[in-house]
Amino acid sequence: MVDVISPDPVGLHARLRPAALACIDLATDRRWTYRELDTDIQRAVSVLQAEGIGKGERVAVLARNSVYQIILQQAAMRLGAIFVPLNWRLSLSELALLLKDCGPALLYTDDAVPPLPPGCRQKTMADLMADVHAAEPAPRCAPHSGHDTCIILYTSGTSGVPKGALLTSQFLLATAVNFNILGEVDTGCVFLCDSPMFHVIGIVTQIWPPMLRGGTFIVSSGFQPEATNDRLASADFGVTHYFCVPQMADALRYAPNFQPQKWTKLKALFTGGAPNPASNIRWWLEQGVRMVDGYGMTETGTTLGMPLSRDVLYEKAGAAGLPGPLTSIRIVDEDERDVPDGTAGQILVYGQNVTPGYWNRPEERGRAFTADGWIKTGDIGRRDEDGYITIVDRLKDMFISGGENVYPVEIEAALIQHPAVREVAVIGVADARWGEVGLAFIVPKSGQTADPDDLTRHCQSLIARYKVPKEFRVVEKLPRTASGKIQKHILAREAQAMEKA
């Protein structure tokens, strides 16, 4: 097999459009043209070489978003080293386990660090900035294989057990191509990048599409609803594409400076990472904003996406869309046989945008993949007659009540339409009569009362009786990962503790 070469879009655009604006770092107000960005990446290559970093060695980062994280990732990739962005919201003990697992030679940080594993040195991001500024650009390295691992990205851990997914440069390229086609990305694009760079959206999906097209990415240190609303409305920035999880979109909506009519350059808000009910998408469309849902995983990057047609978005609201051009999808039953359209089954994915496996866990590939190489997502989907796929639920979240399969996402989509409900999560819990029943955790809207009897009647008007939760619990907030995913294993643990109490 002829090997493929690791892509280098910055190096390409440093020649195609050297004076074009590549990126802006909002924390420092620094701007780079493509020629300047390419030069700073080569300076960072010099810095890493001086630190003794070579092919296959890991360079970890524990820091807020910045353009220098992208410079470091690109420099590591040119060297054949592996970039490992870590979740700064984790506890020091959790981070220590991840550092022990990936074994970096070098760790760049903003703040306090956990105990370092043997052989690991620590420097600050301020050190990196100073070192890059002082260095001479390194000579160009020989190109590396596109099948080599260039990023280890730890899964967000909704099940409580993060794993290091191996991302190749072909994965990064395929994700960019998939999104560029689905998201109508062109050379004049401007991406505002708020999502954390320890997440696949943050380090890949919001960076590589504009970089591949020679567009601009604007990096903020983190999501702040009022600041993001102002930036989306800024004529100077002219933001065309913005990624967020539904929770972030809600925060924009409830911020005091929410004025979507001023988002004149924005093509769409692109959402993923958590269920997005049809009623929510239609509400945004009625505000004049295309909310474009999609589907992907740490292990598969951009996989499904909706078109930017308002009519299709309204008609198909709730669907995650069609596969990208470099992706194939199957929907199968528990025996891995393809199911007909309209039938729910597990989503399998195949393509260049699929991880080859997990760091230090070769046995996980056998569990995660079919014998012929399709990754088992663990997500339940349903394809309609037009080929659009809707995510029904996580396979592990489905429960059986009185012999019927119940998908919590369907119940959550019904409950979120209630005027008193701001957020909701449903889990299955044991029941002596029915085997399992639904337990709904409700975060009410400010000043609203979520009455259980009223919620029950509301559900009965929209879904089958066997799907209606047996119990509703009002809570102040839901446990979430840093990327906004609800941690249902924590809710299940709390429910079990309350049952025993």
pLDDT tens by residue, 251-263: 999 999 999 999 9
Whether 155 shows a pLDDT value over 90: the answer reads: no
Contact call for residues 183 and 190 (beta carbons, < 8 A): no
Average pLDDT of the residues in 266-270: 97
- Give CA–CA dist 379/400, Å, rounded: 16
Whether 1 shows a pLDDT value over 60: the answer reads: no
Can you give the pLDDT at residue 160?
52
- Give CA–CA dist 418/238, Å, rounded: 35
Most confident of 101-105, 427-431, 489-493: 101-105
- Give CA–CA dist 41/12, Å, rounded: 13
Can you give the pLDDT at residue 3?
73
Q: What is the DSSP letter of 237?
A: T
CA dist list (Å): 388 to 283, 295, 304, 322, 341: 21, 12, 9, 5, 10
Report how many helices (DSSP H) and strands (DSSP E) the chain contains, helices first: 16, 24
- Give CA–CA dist 350/208, Å, rounded: 20
Contact call for residues 277 and 417 (beta carbons, < 8 A): yes
CA dist list (Å): 430 to 380, 402, 439, 456, 470: 22, 11, 10, 19, 11
Tokens of 361: 């866990």
Can you give the pLDDT at residue 158?
45
Nearest-Å Rg of the Cα atoms of the chain is 23
- List domains and CATH numbers for the chain: 9-389 (3.40.50.12780), 397-500 (3.30.300.30)
Can you give the pLDDT at residue 171?
97
Q: In which region does residue 200 sit, left (phi positive, over 0), alpha (psi from -120 to 50) or beta (all else)?
A: alpha
Dihedral sign, Cα of residue 459, residue 462, residue 464, residue 467: negative
Tokens of 484: 């906004």
Can you give the pLDDT at residue 238?
97
CA nearest to 328, candidates 306, 345, 304 = 304
Chain segment 68-88, per-residue pLDDT in tens: 999 999 999 999 999 999 988
Chain segment 171-192, per-residue pLDDT in tens: 999 999 999 999 999 999 999 9
Give the residues across from 193 on adjacent strands. 219
Can you give the pLDDT at residue 223?
93
Average pLDDT of the residues in 226-233: 98
Instruction: Calculate what percentage of the chain has a pLDDT beyond 90.
Output: 76
Question: Model pTM?
Answer: 0.85
Average pLDDT of the residues in 103-123: 89
- Give CA–CA dist 455/304, Å, rounded: 33
Whether 42 shows a pLDDT value over 90: the answer reads: yes
**Lowest mean pLDDT segment, chosen from 190-204, 394-408, 410-424:** 394-408
